[in-house]
Structure 1
């Protein structure tokens, strides 16, 4: 696989099109100054910038592994948007999201992946299950698959619920080595029969240098809050070391996934 250092473009949001009222974070379809439509994820929503960090890291790791993810971009939001919005809830969301947000290229016409309609091959299913075990992504269930079918191809979206260790920062070294117990609820677990093969392939791709390059994309102001838990560089280092440790300990989550699949 040819490797290119990850980079994200930055766009300016010029038009708020419509809210997407799925879930509690109220993402929206918005237009950028490049004339493309995006699904805009707001820093002022629910879990704040931590959801954006998880989205960025999860999406770019998935892309590095060869899985299809809509292009991620940084999205600047001007204060003027909040002043012109009639809906008070959305107005507050826009007001608290002024500055740098994250957006995914909008896949017009895409439909939600339905496992009853589309059967994925075992290799792809195993790749996605392995990825979600690495990221501790709890949000790929039959109730909400967070996958889309677009032009007859499967695309992964919404990794904002991943990396839940960063909501507390406590014992992250220990958490990095834990199995991912929630894999039992994964929508693709029953198809994931090639986890050992995928484990070998993906560990060869996800070198510490490549993980660090992805983590280094996180903007400084997403890594600064009132808690005082480290500088931006120190926090980036924690994300990098968490992922590097988890990859090195992948046998733990692979075994847990295999045991859970045997009970499906």
Structure 2
């Protein structure tokens, strides 16, 4: 019998219909008695509903889709996403995206990431602790994005003119999540970092996490108290001062 922790990791595969019939039946039975997993599935359903909106602007990277779908085809029946009524965000004082498509792309690749972690755990017996640690960050980011009421597009600089991305913020949670596409690969010994900027002072949030050929990061701070978020290329994974090249920025204050 699967433990609760193992069942919770399977939630994303359940949403994507990537479970075997007996696994799905067991998970559905578990949902009848588990508010935690029921809430997890509801949040992921809301995120999955936004995936269709990403097609017009940017789909998840081909490499990521190929990797995850290959795993699904190897051991599972074909996966598809059921349409669910999506929530529309409310307006805020901070700059919004013109369309929610970039947000859908960001949440879409995070959802596929978590599904991939679940499938790896089920198919190749990956360490439960390792899967949960990485999936937990993805769950948190999806929770933030599903409850986000403010979001912005990144502004690329000349150092990375093709860079694009989404910053989503939940006023309720006072947390944000950022996903960035099309950044040049960091050279050996280099790493991309996110910085919180207030009154000209930059504070390191941390280095960005890889997601196929994209990067992302949780930002556990109240954006209302900041002027901007900047992304830089620094020497190494640790950086106490912002000295590297700025490749993208998000201005949070009104002009």
Higher relative contact order (CA 8 A, sep 6+): 1
Q: Output the TM-score relative to the length of structure 1.
A: 0.30
Q: Output the TM-score relative to the length of structure 2.
A: 0.30
> Which structure features the higher share of strand residues?
2
